[in-house]
Chain A
Amino acid sequence: MNPLQVVELLLFPGLTFFVWLAFAFEWLDRKTYARMQGRRGPVVTGPFGLLQPVADFFKLASKEEIVPTQSDKFVLRWGPALYFAAPAIGIAFIPILGTQAILYHPLDLLFMLFILAFSTLMAAMLGYASAGRYSTIAIGRLVVQYTSYEVPLILAMITPAVLAGSLSIQGVVVAQGSMWYIVIAPVAFAVFIIAALAELEKPPFDIPSAKTEIVGGWMTEFSGNTLAYVKLTKSLSYVFLSALAVSLFLGGSGGPVISANQNLQSVFYASYFLVKLFAVGFLFFVIKTALARVRIDQATKLFWTIITPLSLAQLAVAILWVFR
């Protein structure tokens, strides 16, 4: 591959860019969370506290790593790398510069589903390998929550694919040149947001890592480097799911007027995408601040009785719309 591709892969819009996006998301998360509660959020490191997530990452990476004696050391050494790789590869498929993504495959929407499942599997494996009392309870809750939100998430992601007639993200983005899918299928967007909150373990669905009940959830026994990378991966998953929402429902880099196919400057496309990305992120932050944590049985009941039927109904409506 030529040098330009390598630069793209590593710098922009590649790994470094996504990591900085993850830091920016974490900063915005903490700032809005704090301001809505009447506090200030990070202030000291960097202007407006912008470097606070970076400082936290380096502080964690510089600490000693304590590994429990009964844990599975092989999984704990290589698991976090796989856990980090899942959303990192996933973002590489999302077209940021117009219709061009770093990696492309005609069926990459299915690959996205696999990545989401793989993420949770790695989290459960890491929690199980930690061999702590709190981790064991946490992965039980994680797996229960996973079975509840997985079906609505898949259905919500298939709906734009049905509307666009294509199973690649690029195809979905191009097909939204005339009208964003959030207008045609708003229920699918709402279901996607709710299921994404459950995937990311954010309130109201942050039971698997409930800080006040089971100490740290499946991340309890991590420290040092492992914890730094796990937290970075959680922020990266945030970016990944927001980017998915933007591509599937908000037209990616394109819009109602400008189709993503035209050859405008890629900077324009990138900034338009970023604006939408931060808007979706802001929506996540507001929901996270406004709601309490529900119990695991209440979450399961909510997903199976309300969310799944809604997403099924939406999918049926979408199919009928396409074949009208």
Chain B
Amino acid sequence: MSEDTKPDQRRESSAGLMQYSVESAMPFGPVHPSLKEPEYFKLILEGEKIVQVIPRIGYVHRGIERAAQERTWVKNTYLFERICGICSFAHSLGYTHAVEALTGFEVPKRGRYIRLIVAELERLHSHLLWLGLVGHWAGFDTLFMWVWKDREHILDLEEAITGNRVNKSYSIIGGVRMELPDGIAAKIQDELKYIEKRADYYTKLVETEETFAVRTKGVGRITQETARRLCPVGPLLRCTGIARDVRAEDPYAAYDEIPPHVQTSNDGDIASLLTLRLNEIRDSCRMVSEAVEKLPTGPYKVSIPRAVPQGESTFHVEAPRGELFYFVKSGGGSAPERVKVRSSTVANILTATEMLKGHTLADVPIVLTGMDPCFGCMDRVSVLDVDKSKEWSIGGEELRMYGIEYYKRKLS
């Protein structure tokens, strides 16, 4: 990458003085300790100040949508929940709901309540993970260890209910896979009380600890106009004051009976993201507690024949990171004809690069973590040709031949 090691020097003269402005491009990633998953960000720096960030994505592209076309409907539940480790159940919900819409069967009430409980528990664990990570990137390892210590309580609950901590394989086409274990209701309520108490303590800590607050207040600020222009989703949108939440606007699972209180905060910087996510943690605790109390009796799944009728369906869920969108097309066969996943980080990544302008290198990990990136969810290839107004997806062999032809033309 020779273009990155040589700084691009420009001399500008203003008012008769020779002004020396040096812009250098520094690569951030794909392998960097502050990125959990590889993505390439080219930071255009002036000294230590960032002028522009250019992302380049595609490092975690695994061809999952193509792999889905070769597996049966049931096998695909296991494939799609492995797109992401943190929002795994949200992907599972998106896929199963989209397929259930095609079949026309409705999930019984108890199944929907249980889906809500596990989905909100996953939101809890994802937000706690994020909180620990922000502490870690800010150099506050103590907060990181404490928060992840509390997160273990949630993960043990999920293991007791579903059998695994991530990749739960719990939602199937037609409901949930098995019944809740005995005595889980009391355990859930105890853990929720503990988590709420800790969330109160962390709210106090992140606002009053001077060395941490000074790293997060005013850092990565976006305004509502920028948000409306760049269209982020999820907590990144809600922290600017715009109240959009898929669970409230288009309820699925049991959210029509236990609606969420949509939280917003007003400043659009990392400190307000912290407050927002801690409020969401408390709200999720409330919803799970209510769902456990009001859990209806009855069957938890419905048997659906394994042939899915022809048609197309779309579904969106509120993953912990934002709106997650599934499109499923069936040709009547045993495998889906096309599945398309649009995850939340795709929508957030340009906003995050906008948030970084004017800040220094020290703020890059915090701001990039602030949008809660999940690059594993993000990389799906879709090609849009603006001139020809045509959109298509490129298969593997086509891409390979295209690359060969391109470089042949370039060298000749």
Question: Does B64 make an interface contact (CB < 8 A)?
Answer: no
CB distance from B373 to the nearest CB of A (A): 15
The answer for the CA separation of A39 and B142 in the assembled complex, in Å, is 11
In the complex, the answer to whether B211 meets A137 with C-beta atoms within 8 Å is no
In the complex, the answer to whether A293 meets B361 with C-beta atoms within 8 Å is no
| Total of A-B residue pairs, C-beta within 8 Å | 71
In the complex, the answer to whether A37 meets B142 with C-beta atoms within 8 Å is yes
Question: Does A204 make an interface contact (CB < 8 A)?
Answer: yes
Question: Does A215 make an interface contact (CB < 8 A)?
Answer: yes
Query: Residue A213 contacts which of B5, B143, B145, B365 (CB distance < 8 angstroms)?
Result: B365
CB distance from B152 to the nearest CB of A (A): 10
- Residues of B contacting A211 in the complex (Cβ-Cβ under 8 angstroms): 33
The answer for the CA separation of A212 and B214 in the assembled complex, in Å, is 18
Question: Does A203 make an interface contact (CB < 8 A)?
Answer: yes
The answer for the CA separation of A243 and B138 in the assembled complex, in Å, is 30
The answer for the CA separation of A214 and B143 in the assembled complex, in Å, is 21
Question: Does A133 make an interface contact (CB < 8 A)?
Answer: yes
Question: Does B286 make an interface contact (CB < 8 A)?
Answer: no
In the A-B complex, the 4 residue pairs with the smallest Cβ-Cβ separation, listed nearest first, are A293-B139, A292-B140, A37-B145, A292-B212
Q: Which of A85-93, A102-110, A177-185, A294-302 contacts B (4 or more CB under 8 A)?
A: A294-302
- Residues of A contacting B361 in the complex (Cβ-Cβ under 8 angstroms): 137, 213-214
The answer for the CA separation of A140 and B145 in the assembled complex, in Å, is 30
Query: Residue B142 contacts which of A210, A289, A295 (CB distance < 8 angstroms)?
Result: A289
The answer for the CA separation of A136 and B209 in the assembled complex, in Å, is 31
Q: Max chain B CB contacts within 10 Å: which of A36, A213, A290?
A: A213
- Residues of A contacting B211 in the complex (Cβ-Cβ under 8 angstroms): 204, 291-294
Question: Does B290 make an interface contact (CB < 8 A)?
Answer: no
The answer for the CA separation of A298 and B363 in the assembled complex, in Å, is 12
- Residues of B contacting A292 in the complex (Cβ-Cβ under 8 angstroms): 135, 138-140, 143, 209, 211-212, 215
Q: Max chain A CB contacts within 10 Å: which of B5, B139, B149, B214?
A: B139
User: What residue of chain B has the Cβ atom nearest to residue A211's Cβ?
Assistant: B33
Chain B residues with a Cβ closer than 8 Å to the other chain, count? 29
Q: C-beta contact mask, B358-391 vs A, less than 8 Å → 1, else 0?
A: 0011111100000000000000000000000000
- Residues of A contacting B212 in the complex (Cβ-Cβ under 8 angstroms): 292
| With known contacts A38-B145, A38-B146, A211-B33, A295–B360 Cβ distance under 8 A | yes
User: What residue of chain B has the Cβ atom nearest to residue A34's Cβ?
Assistant: B145
In the complex, the answer to whether B149 meets A213 with C-beta atoms within 8 Å is no
Dominant secondary structure of chain A at its interface with chain B: loop
Chain A residues with a Cβ closer than 8 Å to the other chain, count? 27
- Residues of B contacting A212 in the complex (Cβ-Cβ under 8 angstroms): 33-34, 136-137, 139, 365
Query: Residue A36 contacts which of B26, B142, B214 (CB distance < 8 angstroms)?
Result: B142
- Residues of A contacting B146 in the complex (Cβ-Cβ under 8 angstroms): 37-38
- Residues of A contacting B140 in the complex (Cβ-Cβ under 8 angstroms): 291-293
22 contacts between A and B (CB under 8 A): A37-B141, A37-B142, A37-B145, A37-B149, A140-B48, A210-B139, A211-B33, A212-B34, A212-B137, A213-B34, A213-B364, A214-B361, A289-B142, A291-B209, A292-B143, A292-B209, A292-B211, A293-B211, A293-B215, A294-B214, A295-B360, A295-B363
Binding site for B on A (CB under 8 A): 36-39, 133, 137, 140, 203-204, 206-207, 210-215, 289-298
- Residues of A contacting B141 in the complex (Cβ-Cβ under 8 angstroms): 37, 289
CB distance from B356 to the nearest CB of A (A): 13
In the complex, the answer to whether A298 meets B214 with C-beta atoms within 8 Å is yes
User: Which residues of chain B from 23 to 60 have a CB within 8 Å of any chain A CB?
Assistant: 26, 32-34, 48
- Residues of A contacting B48 in the complex (Cβ-Cβ under 8 angstroms): 137, 140, 296
In the complex, the answer to whether A294 meets B215 with C-beta atoms within 8 Å is yes
In the complex, the answer to whether A204 meets B142 with C-beta atoms within 8 Å is no
The answer for the CA separation of A297 and B363 in the assembled complex, in Å, is 12
- Residues of B contacting A297 in the complex (Cβ-Cβ under 8 angstroms): 360
User: What residue of chain A has the Cβ atom nearest to residue B28's Cβ?
Assistant: A213
User: What residue of chain A has the Cβ atom nearest to residue B143's Cβ?
Assistant: A292
In the complex, the answer to whether A206 meets B139 with C-beta atoms within 8 Å is yes
Q: Max chain B CB contacts within 10 Å: which of A211, A214, A289, A293?
A: A293
Q: C-beta contact mask, B204-223 vs A, less than 8 Å → 1, else 0?
A: 00000101101100000000
User: What residue of chain A has the Cβ atom nearest to residue B150's Cβ?
Assistant: A38
- Residues of B contacting A38 in the complex (Cβ-Cβ under 8 angstroms): 145-146, 149
CB distance from B267 to the nearest CB of A (A): 19
CB distance from B280 to the nearest CB of A (A): 23
- Residues of A contacting B136 in the complex (Cβ-Cβ under 8 angstroms): 212
The answer for the CA separation of A203 and B138 in the assembled complex, in Å, is 11
The answer for the CA separation of A134 and B263 in the assembled complex, in Å, is 40
In the complex, the answer to whether A293 meets B364 with C-beta atoms within 8 Å is no
- Residues of B contacting A133 in the complex (Cβ-Cβ under 8 angstroms): 5, 26
